[in-house]
Amino acid sequence: MPRRRTVVLASAATLLALGGLLAAGIAAVTQTSWGREQIRVRVLGLINSKIQGTMYIGRIDGSLFTDVVIDSFAIRDRQDSVFVATGPIHIRFDPRDLLDRRIVASQVTVERAFVHIHEDSTKTWNFRKIFPSGPKQPPVASPARNFGDYIVVNSARVTGATVLLTMPWQPDDSLRGSRRDSAIAFALGRQDKRIARAGSGFESQRSWTNAMLELGPSRIDDKDRLGRQFDVRRLDADEFDPPFKFREVRGALRNKGDSVWADVSHFRLPGSRGTAQGKVWWGSDLPTRYDLTFVSDSVSLADVAWVYPTLPTTGGGAMTLHIGNGRDLRVIEYALRDMDVRTMNSRLRGAMTFGTGEPVLVVKDIDVRADPIDWVLIEQFTGEPLPYPFKGVIDASVQARGGPVNRFVVDEGRFYFRDANVAGATARGVVRGELDILFPALTKFRGFDLALDHLDLRTIQFVNPAFPRFFGLVSGTARLDSVWTDLRFRNADITHRFEDGDPSRFTGNGRVTIGEQFLVYDMALDAQPLDLTTVARAYPEAELIYRGSYAGPMRVQGQSDDLAVVTVLTGAPGTLAYDGRVDADSVDGYGYHGNLRFSDLDLRLLLDTAAVPHTSLAGTADIDVAGDSLATWEGTLDLRLDRSLIDSVRVYDGARGRMRFGGGAVHIDTLSMETALASITAKGGLGLLPGVRDSLEFTLTADSLGALRQYFVRAGAGDSLALEQALRDSLGAQVTGRGMLLGSLDSLDARGALDVRQLTVGSYGARVARVAFDLDHVLLPEVSGTINVTADTIALGTVAITSAGIDMDVHGTHEVSVGLLATLSNGPVLETRGMFGVSGDSTVAALSALRIGLDGREWTLSRPATFAASDGAFSLDTVRLAGSRGGTLMIAGRSSPDSLVQLQLQMDSVSLADLANLAQSDLALGGWVATRLDVTGTRAQPVMTLSGAVTGATVGQVNVARASLRGSYADRRLHFGADVLRNDSAVVTVRGNIPVDLALVPRDHRLLRGGRATRCGSPSIRRRWT
């Protein structure tokens, strides 16, 4: 073998041996535990010498060329704080990419990854400390790619991961002293944030746990102009702040420098789904910035209820959520747009923005409509049960610039409430102003304006049984301040209405506090006016007897069972001033304890009843009573009158009544009153409750009837003739009376007598008269008993009566039997029996017997007759008197409700001597009269026709064999005529007409202005007189 060949063979054998040895060495290093451990040790030594921290790589398995498995991995800083720690890591790659200076992993799997990114008080991130960038070097152009410039992962999966982000925290730099300490204590105690002490400062931490990440082809290095790019096939994570539980997140993420862009095509929360786009960036020593938009057509409120502690956790809807930073970058704003959410029987639509990071939550830019909102949702917002059980729904719209929830500004809120507690009860109004809703259960008003269109008071009564049973609607305006449970109002202008009654209006300021049982009031109001007539109808439980409209100031303090009231009210009934306390709570009865002053008080207007006269009273009343009503009062009443008037009768100063109430009765210790008409005294008691009986004695004395003249004037005020007579009449009498009232108001009896001497009323009078009465149940329709009236030496104009007596047997207001016996001074006797009765607006009278006894002859009633009147109509049955020596007298008629009238008066063969005897005329009359008067038309415009004749008449020494009479009345003119006849021929004629008003209703003037004519003539002497 040639030498050259030997050398070549030897060299080849040597190279093969060396190659074999090298392959065996590489295999020994990479494919054996010993070799991989040697590499791990040397790599760790090299890396740890280059970083400012400690890297740990656990046992390495698999092939170092294509398939590496590391059982654990960790990086710690110099303080031994973990930056990264993982469980097993499995990497598959192609070593040829390493020869091309590329790192390409075909598949990476990481288990139980833990990453803690930490920024210290010097604003330095822990990863920058561990991997310092070193001094800046000028860029060096290199055509070749450096190792690490290209890192790509084709597929990756990370499971069980946790990521922590810790940053410095400090309270708002505007806070000082105790306020700063309070803010720190509050932050440290928050359960929705992780804020803790760190050395001399504080840190906040955000976390993402239970994370699972699946990536498609992703570029890990940041040398590309687009930066790092990740194709997220799936991401699941639990975020603590805000508390989101993300699931099935898919999309593209891009990171370049200190910014991350996201385009998420799908994400899911436990009850929501949607898409998201946006950007997150940090750095420049500023807080993390956000510009993220989430769009969801299916949002569960349970997923976003963390925004506000009292948001509901049921229901959901659709919305667009934008997360960004406010002007203060530390504030994160959550802007809800296109919101349409249904929850707790409610529906909310519109937009609003929440801001977190301020000392208090910010809610702003609100444009929301409730269609509707249920009270159960309002109660949810308050965070605790409402003090009153409101139920129902509210249709509302709110436009509000908002702000911090303790300075929340409402630009305009409109509402319409439909009460579910009370059928038909509603409320409508408009609000605007500032609220403090930091603690919704203690909502505070700050210059909050309320304009109430109406509020049904039944709503308040239902939820607060202690509220008076005062019905109706209230409306008006007021500015509210303070916490709603201790509400202050000012510039109030409130109106109360009930049905068709006149309204009451109040203006003023005040305070209403919700107490443990009652509302507590402190109000200074001005009634403009207070209409007691409407209030009495709206407040039937109070049994108010007062009526009328009043204006004046009112000061009310205390709670409904103990109100301090000071007021002066003036109205048509007079002036009432009260200073004292009032118990307006009906549960234990009403009470009044104070002083009442009054002047110019008209009881008819105050009580709104014609049962009492007009008055003008002045005086005071010291009141100390309590009870549900007058019958159950307990206490005292001391009433004093100054100079006053009762129906124009003067009451002199000094009238007084001292009363004690108790046991269902009133005890009158003193009652004395002196008037221009009479002096009255009384003492005793009366029962106020059924079955409680007592007795009250009274006396009455009068020595003049001058004060009664006004009644006669008033009675004739509608008729000129009667008025003229009343003004001329003289009045006089001496009156003494004594009596007793017995029993209780439901069964009151009256006993007594009234003696009258020297009674004079114009041309009427009586020397002595007595009225005696003995009646039971005088205040009831079933009144019964007797009334007896006797008098002697009576004058009725020109008629003198020796004696007269009237006996009445009362069997109720519907039946009073009457008997009358009168003897005229010249002998005739009048005797009659009958009855009358009143029931409602109907009056009935009956004449059962009538006898007029004359000298040897009499007139008697032919048959019983009746009279009935009701509702403006009347009917008079035929009243017929027959003379024992012939002759009749008859009257009958009727009137319809529309005032049509039909009356007839007829006399046939009536003796003129009898008429003269009854009239006690000094003129001797004889003969007989027959006449007929017919009245038709209406009572205001009657038509009258008169015809008649006189035969065999003698007037003194003048004889008239026969005369005819005729007359007519219509259109307020009376035509009359008379003829004296001889053998059917007129020897004297009289004709005439005069203007006169003979209406069957009162008239101011009877005799009218106008032409008058009277003619008298005699054919036998051919002469006339006019």
Q: Which pLDDT score, from 0 to 100, does residue 220 have?
A: 80
Which residues make beta-bridge pairs with 270?
Answer: none
The answer as to whether 458 is a domain residue is no
Does residue 971 sit within a domain?
yes
Average pLDDT of span 225-239: 89
The residue range of the domain holding 517 is 497-628
Q: What is the DSSP string of 197-265?
A: EETTEEEEEEEEEEEEEEE-SEE--S-STT-EEEEEEEEEEEESSS--EEEEEEEEEEEETTEEEEEEE
Quote the radius of gyration of the chain (alpha carbons, Å).
Answer: 56
pLDDT in tens, 808-835: 999 999 999 999 999 998 889 999 999 9
Distance separating alpha carbons of residues 78 and 126, to the nearest angstrom = 10
Confidence of residue 931 (pLDDT cuts 50, 70, 90): very high
Cβ-count burial 722-754 (b if 16+ within 10 Å, e if not): bbeebeebebebebebebebbbbbebbbbbbeb
634 falls within a domain? no
Which one of 226, 244, 267 terminates a domain? 267
Reported as a pLDDT band with limits 50, 70 and 90, residue 137 is low
Over residues 383-412, the mean pLDDT reads: 91
Q: Domain total for the chain? A: 3
Distance of alpha carbon 927 from alpha carbon 384, whole angstroms: 105
The pLDDT of residue 479 is above 90: yes
CA–CA dist 306, 190 (Å, integer):
13
Percent of the chain with pLDDT over 90: 48
Measured distance CA(985)–CA(1019) in Å, rounded: 9
User: For residue 712, what pLDDT is reported?
Assistant: 58
- Report DSSP letters for 938-999, one per residue: BSSSEEEEEEEEEEEEEETTEEEEEEEEEEEEETTEEEEEEEEEETTEEEEEEEEEEEB---
Q: Residues 319-343: what's their mean pLDDT? A: 90
Q: Which of 5-19, 381-395, 413-427, 756-770 reaches the highest mean pLDDT?
A: 413-427
Q: Is the dihedral of CA 125, 130, 131, 134 positive or negative?
A: positive
What's the whole-model pTM score?
0.67
Residue with tokens 């009270």: 375
Q: If you average pLDDT over residues 772-777, what whole number do you get?
A: 94
CA distance 794 to 481: 79
> What whole-number distance in Å separates Cα of residue 628 and Cα of residue 623?
15
What mean pLDDT, rounded, does the chain reach?
Answer: 86
Distance separating alpha carbons of residues 208 and 276, to the nearest angstrom: 18
pLDDT of 141 > 70? The answer is no
Listed residues 602, 628, 654: the one ending a domain: 628
Which of the 8 DSSP states describes residue 119?
B
Residue 726 above 50 pLDDT? no
Phi, psi of 42 (to 5 degrees): -70, -40
Beta strand spans in 465-548 (E): 473-483, 486-497, 504-514, 519-531
CB of 892 closer than 8 Å to CB of 935: no
Q: Could you give phi then psi for residue 277, rounded to 5 degrees? A: -145, 155
The amino acid that residue 463 corresponds to is V
Task: Tell me: cis bond preceding 143? Omega within 30 of 0 counts.
Answer: no
β-strand pairing of 784-796 with 764-776: antiparallel
Spatial distance between the Cα atoms of 446 and 439, rounded to a whole number of angstroms: 14
* Cα–Cα dist 580/566, whole Å: 7
The mean-pLDDT minimum among 20-34, 664-678, 697-711 falls in: 20-34
Give the pLDDT band of residue 716 (cuts 50, 70, 90).
very low
853 in Cβ contact with 823 (< 8 Å): no
Does residue 652 contact residue 675 with C-beta atoms inside 8 Å?
Answer: yes
pLDDT, tens digit, 9 for 90 and up, residues 443-478:
899 999 999 999 999 998 999 887 778 899 999 999
| Residue 880: per-residue pLDDT | 94
Strand 195-198 relative to strand 644-646: parallel, antiparallel, unpaired? unpaired
Query: Omega before 781 cis (within 30°)?
Result: no
Least confident residue range of 406-410, 558-562, 737-741: 558-562
Q: 794: helix, coil or strand?
A: strand
Residue 172 lies in a domain: yes
In a domain, 859, yes or no: no
Confidence of residue 717 (pLDDT cuts 50, 70, 90): very low
- Poorest-pLDDT segment among 497-506, 593-602, 993-1002: 993-1002
Please state the φ and ψ torsions of residue 11, each to the nearest 5 degrees: -65, -45
Q: Considering the domain boundaries, does residue 721 fall inside one?
A: no
User: How many helical (H) and strand (E) elements, i.e. helices and strands, does the chain have?
Assistant: 13, 62
Could you tell me if residue 877 is inside a domain?
Answer: no
Residue showing tokens 């003979």: 998
Q: Which residues pair with 208 in a beta bridge?
A: 163, 239
Question: How many Cα atoms occupy the beta-carbon half-sphere of 875 within 13 Å?
Answer: 7
Three-state DSSP class for 180? helix
Long-range CB contacts (< 8 A, 24+ apart) of 14-17? none
What's the CA angle centered on 211, arms 206 and 214, to 5 degrees?
135
Res. 438: pLDDT tops 70? yes
The Cα–Cα gap between 323 and 280 comes to: 10
Asked if 321 and 303 count as a contact pair (C-beta separation under 8 A), the reply is no
Q: Is the pLDDT of residue 28 over 80?
A: no
pLDDT at 962: 86
714 has pLDDT over 90: no
What is the model's pLDDT at position 148?
61
Chain-centre distance of CA 77, in angstroms? 70
Instruction: Note whether 48 and 41 are within 8 A (CB).
Output: no
764-776 and 747-761: which strand pairing?
antiparallel
Given this model, what pLDDT does residue 713 score?
55
pLDDT tens per residue across span 582-614: 988 766 678 899 999 999 999 888 888 887 888
User: 23 pLDDT exceeds 50?
Assistant: no
For residue 820 the two structure tokens come to 């009358």
For residue 823, tell me if it sits in a domain: no
pLDDT on residue 1014: 84
The number of residues making up the chain comes to 1026
What average pLDDT does this structure show over 832-861? 91
Return all residues near 862 (Cβ < 8 A) that are at least 6 apart.
880, 881, 882, 888
- The pLDDT, as a whole number, for residue 235 is 94
Last residue within a domain, chosen from 598, 628, 658: 628
The average pLDDT across 95-111 equals 83
**Pairing verdict, β 655-662 and 634-641:** antiparallel
CB neighbours of 176 closer than 8 A, spacing ≥ 6?
A: none
Identify the pLDDT of residue 711.
62
Cα–Cα dist 542/538, whole Å:
9
Decide if pLDDT at 724 tops 60: no
The percentage of the chain sitting over the pLDDT mark of 70, rounded to a whole number, equals: 91
Cα(10)–Cα(494) distance, integer angstroms: 122
pLDDT of residue 9: 53
Residue 179 has pLDDT above 90, yes or no: no
- The rounded distance, in Å, linking the Cα atoms of 685 and 667 is 4
Q: Could you tell me how far CA 747 lies from the centroid of its own chain?
A: 41
The whole-number pLDDT of residue 348 equals 93
**Lowest-confidence range among 331-345, 843-857, 1007-1021?**
1007-1021
- 86-90, 482-486, 716-720, 1010-1014 — which is least confidently predicted? 716-720
Of the candidates 879, 896, 875, 876, the residue with the CA atom closest to the CA atom of residue 888: 879
832 vs 32, 715, 773, 849, 887, CA distance in Å? 151, 27, 21, 5, 20
Under the banding of pLDDT at 50, 70 and 90, the label for residue 136 is low
- In whole angstroms, give the CA distance from residue 626 to residue 786: 38
